[in-house]
Amino acid sequence: MICQFQRTIKRPTVIEGIGLHTGKKVKLKLYPAKKNEGINFIRKNILIPAKIDFAHSFDYSTSLMREGVAIRTVEHLMAALYFTGIDNIFIEIDEEELPILDGSSKEFVEAIKKSGIQALNEEKFYAILENPVYINQGDKFIEGKPSKITKFSYQADYNNSIIGKKIFTYIPHEKKSYEGLFSARTYCFLEEVEYLKSLGLAKGGSLKNAVVFHKDNVLNEEGLRFEDEPVRHKVLDLVGDLYLLGYPLIGEVFSFKGGHRLNAEFVKALLNTNSISIKPASQVFDFIKNSTLVKAV
């Protein structure tokens, strides 16, 4: 979301649920923060900034860690904070893993909106992608290109008639475009469930918080929310993981079969190759206004 001023929430709010992987009950308390304080988790009195430097593990979710204290599965909340333009917030958590809720960012977005969004008296900062960045892992890759129109795309490649080679592109500049994205749920294949459980994962997983495929069928009674819901969810994950950059990214990102690990590698590559510059909103607006691409839309 492109906005001029930094944002926080108006009032504290509580979100409760169970962790997808731990299956444990968890309570999140969201508190307003001041300008330039950033997005920070608090657990066991340890402050863990939501930044790539604290990213720790990427197996089936993105986790942060500081001084031995972990916070797991942060990506759907991070995406919700991106969608609602929140830059500054404290998130206190009484367990290791964030609640999975319905498997999407929907309830996080609703809770943030219900608590109210407060503009702060300080310009928002953006990370402008200045040079192309490409990373790969086998045939999976993520490519970033400078662009005045931000686009986040994902292409799947499954031997499955529902997902197949579907592509979804999210364009944050378009008003309300996230509405077709934030309610896309996480998914897995029934064939994977036993394997995940053998790793001690997906203990809280059920048809209430994930789409489960069995070969070419959806096992959830209600079916899919969108015919391309799985790729939409992959874009949601990408948006959430990219927000660990610490700033909203302006540029085009295309992921082919990427996951949390590759997303994190991409964020590190953006920082390590000096491919981004951090600019205040006033300069970003000029940058967008002067774009012939914007005029053409």
**Residues belonging to the active site:** 260
Task: Considering the complex, state which of residue 84 and residue 104 has its C-beta at the smaller distance from Zn ion.
Answer: 104
55 has which bridge partners? Answer: 64
Specify the residue for token string 């064939």.
Answer: 191
Tell me how far, at minimum, the Cβ of 214 lies from Zn ion, in Å.
20
Closest CA to 52 of 275, 296, 267, 291: 267
Tell me how far, at minimum, the Cβ of 78 lies from Zn ion, in Å.
10
Closest CA to 5 of 103, 110, 118: 118
Dihedral sign of CA atoms 13, 18, 19, 24 in order:
positive
105 lies in the site for Zn ion, by CB under 5 A: no
> Which 225-254 positions form the footprint of Zn ion (CB under 5 A)?
237
d(CA 229, CA 211): 9
Dihedral sign of CA atoms 243, 250, 60, 58 in order:
negative
Tell me how far, at minimum, the Cβ of 241 lies from Zn ion, in Å.
9
Query: In this chain, which of 186, 209, 255, 263 binds Zn ion, going by CB under 5 A?
Result: 186
253 has which bridge partners? Answer: 144, 152
Tell me how far, at minimum, the Cβ of 136 lies from Zn ion, in Å.
21
How many chain residues touch Zn ion (CB under 5 A)? 2
Task: Considering the complex, state which of residue 120 and residue 202 has its C-beta at the smaller distance from Zn ion.
Answer: 202
Q: Which stretch binds Zn ion (CB under 5 A): 12-20, 114-122, 167-175, 178-186?
A: 178-186
Q: Determine contact, residues 12/31, Cβ cutoff 8 Å.
A: yes
Task: Considering the complex, state which of residue 186 and residue 275 has its C-beta at the smaller distance from Zn ion.
Answer: 186
Q: Which stretch binds Zn ion (CB under 5 A): 184-192, 209-217, 260-268, 274-282?
A: 184-192
d(CA 281, CA 247): 11
209 lies in the site for Zn ion, by CB under 5 A: no
Task: Considering the complex, state which of residue 81 and residue 120 has its C-beta at the smaller distance from Zn ion.
Answer: 81
Which stretches of the chain bind Zn ion, using CB under 5 A?
186, 237
